[in-house]
Structure 1
């Protein structure tokens, strides 16, 4: 017999357009989220804007102007936060040379990522969770490296978020490792993210989730004067581009086109983010990115990692990739005055809640299976315990096949369950959980017993 407990407030989750009502917050995570400061993030954006052009091809030697000065300042901020970490937070510049590409790189140029790593406390836990943003900026002419391109929202907002999370979380002790990744070269072709993603493959890092923050600090859209600081978009790809023909056949055979690793991460961000951040709905966009646009999550997605893009609800294109000027009484340019730092604070809270909950959770359950022989009126699932982490039990998630979010949640202490629901009519997944209720990412079961 399996053990089953119903979770009040979490067992039946109504599928409605507004934010889900989730209870049982982790006091530690709640404290970190409340510690996020809009003023602190504004100060970071102001400093980044002061470097003038942060174009990838701008000066790397000037002490006060250009991308080199911006990277060194960002590194110094991470290093200042490291002093409160007991030696677990370290920061470095990861430098290499870009070669001309005949497009947006017209000569050899030094490029660098700023990488801050908060080492996990469990030697047996090799998981790495990444928050990323890009430090480079641009004006209308993608090759103009001299004109001021403040990039306040695109993407000083993301850099400020990563810095703020490092400030707040430097003293935290999580089993898994967190990386605060500030990349260069996004506007010229995703070079910094591509370099780091390839390192992860070559060095066999266990990157379990990448949260890419890009253009997330303005609540005013450019069309019809839309102002909305209550919604945040999370983009996630569906069918992975890296899949083999055999993997694609398996996905189609079980109907899991909407349940890849990245889509599961997006759902996780919605549930956990709305749990801790009030008056904010996490809106899931079921595509990898906007039409004809790109972001630093894509090099990770293309290599098989779970990576999402986090972006404000309504982008304002008058203040994105524009030269600073006024035309017919309208101001153009990515300036601080057009940002909403209370909105940015809430968006940073979603990132922190998701990262902290993941880093505190056990590893995902292993070898999750669903039995497909015998009566189809039942769903029989079994799995193995995770490789590391202290496990209180497991959540078995369930939803109707046409629904976008999980509808029911069962708690079990065993590593198997039989549910009185047709395996053909529902999707299922399994999460590991801690004593405090921190959940791993869900794992979709594969069929067995055919």
Structure 2
């Protein structure tokens, strides 16, 4: 005999089915789930999707694709082992040894970068800028904070710059312990290994074909104490009025094999992207507008994350990775070097592995109750780190060779809104969106061919549609779209003469 609950459920289903089929105007979409097990039936079939065409991830040119497989897991293993062998890389550790401490580590990184950069024939400049940092909580003595960085100057727009960062300091449970063994293999020798591979792979390329915009590849210090090195770098760039359009920070990119998501996560990397939380430092009025208009998920950092996710989707057959975009500046209660760039007003994101292993992070190496603790090299997957490097090289090189991200993208607040008086034009009352951009943009960016409108329903994380603008529309500087501002968000991105596309710019009101 069926239960009352099962009878009740049948009656509900029958009732819903009857109600739906009583109307000829609606057919319920099937309840479906994606291959990842997530429901994809949660959003309505709305707004209508006939404006533009469905967005297909942009493809990558043959040269860039040919660079990605060059990441060498054996080299990555060697780099990480060398860094581990310095015993500790604590920010306050000794600097007068050639084999132990942060001084020995940074000198080795600089020499290695210089050697790897030689095939660039001078197109990669390696340096070690430093400043003096007085003792602070967690930093038991005053020290020199030194970054090691390789700079590749862009040949079209050298002031536009993309910055890779990965910190090279390490720590134990006690953040002030600067003498005992702190291997820091995953956190964060893994990211330094990617930095060295980026220099090695790009050196022969930039000798012949430098990027259009500039690239900085930096191993920064003092992250574990208070982001000292990255703040020094970000503020230096800000004071020099450098147009930093993206910080690609890598921190803990050594392994994906932590339960319960193994083995799928061996081919997944997370990108953390900040929302409006850093913008009040720059423009409180902008935050108010983004929050009031539904654009709170459309900060420059999240657009940078969307860009990385898209270019990787178009080249996933080579990167062998998928990108998971996270709507947070960082993990709960945590931080990283990209926050220094966010605080300086630059877009910044964090690459990190999908499921951190806290047994092997910020730990004193030991065996306790049969459990191995400590950030040792044995827990690093060098193939995973190589794949993470591919995503970084793909996205940085693609961005640096595309036109710059547009500016001055606005929408009309009068058109597609309520009438203010009886003389309000009738065509202003259509519930549509009118968008504007800089009609002289092509004269300012020699790489730019045209703009492309992208849009998505508010509930979608990634852009769903794109609409290339004709040259006549580019010159006019405006377009009207039959989509309500209440139902979608719009972005504007640059498209180069070779088809390369920039991250998008969000729309703000034209008032």
Can you list the C-alpha shifts for 1:125-183, whole angstroms capped at 9, x where unaligned?
41010000000001222122121111110000011111111111122311100000111
**Cα RMSD after superposing both structures:** 1.9
Alpha-carbon distance in 2 for matches of 1:425, 1:219: 37
Distance 2:161 2:376 in 1: 34
RCO comparison, higher one (Cα < 8 Å, 6+): 1
Q: How many residues align?
A: 430
- Does residue 398 (structure 1) correspond to residue 460 (structure 2)? The answer is no
Moved over 6 A (4+): none
Deviation at 1:376, TM superposition (A): 4.1
Higher helix share: 2
* Matches of 1:404 and 1:375, distance apart in 2: 30
The residue aligned with 1:12 is 54
In the alignment, is residue 426 of structure 1 matched against residue 488 of structure 2?
A: yes
Task: State the alpha-carbon separation in 2 of the partners of residues 324 and 160 from structure 1.
Answer: 22
Q: Select 1:86's aligned residue among 121, 138, 160.
A: 121
Give me the whole-angstrom Cα distance separating, in 2, the residues matched to 1:328 and 1:80: 45
Which SS does the other structure have where 1:154 is aligned? helix
| SS in structure 1 at match of 2:187 | coil
Aligned 8 A contact 1:236 1:309 in 2 = yes
What SS does the aligned partner of 2:483 have?
Answer: coil
For 1:354 and 1:365, locate their aligned partners in 2 and report how far apart those are by CA, in whole Å. Answer: 18
User: Does the aligned pair in 1 maintain the 2:251–2:352 contact within 8 Å?
Assistant: yes
Cα distance change on mapping 1:327 and 1:376 into 2, 3 Å? farther
* Residue number in structure 1 paired with 2:48: none
C-alpha distance in 1 between matches for 2:270 and 2:310:
13
Counterpart in 2 of 1:18? none
Matched with 1:74 is 109
Counterpart-to-counterpart distance in 1, 2:221 and 2:335: 14
Q: Structure 1 unaligned segments of length 5 or more: list them.
A: 1-9, 14-20
Look up the match of 2:434: 380
Cα drift, residue 225 of structure 1? 7.9
Maintained 8 Å contact 1:186/1:193: yes
In the superposition, the TM-score normalised over structure 2's length comes to 0.80
Instruction: Report whether the alignment pairs 1:239 with 2:276.
Output: yes
- Which residue in the other structure is 1:364 paired with? 405
Q: Which residue of 2 aligns with 1:289?
A: 330
Give the equivalent residue in structure 2 for 1:134. Answer: 167
Give per-residue Cα distances to partners, 1:330-388, cap 9 Å, x unaligned: 21111111111111111111111110111001122332222331244433323221532
1:23–1:224 Cα change, 3 Å:
closer
Q: 1:204 aligns with which of 241, 263, 266?
A: 241
Q: Distance in 2 between matches of 1:341 and 1:90?
A: 27
Aligned mates of 1:195, 1:407 — CA distance in 2: 38
> 1:329: Cα distance to partner?
2.5
Q: Which has the larger radius of gyration?
A: 2
Judged with a 3 Å threshold, the aligned counterparts in structure 2 of structure 1 residues 445 and 427 are, in CA distance, closer, same or farther, namely same
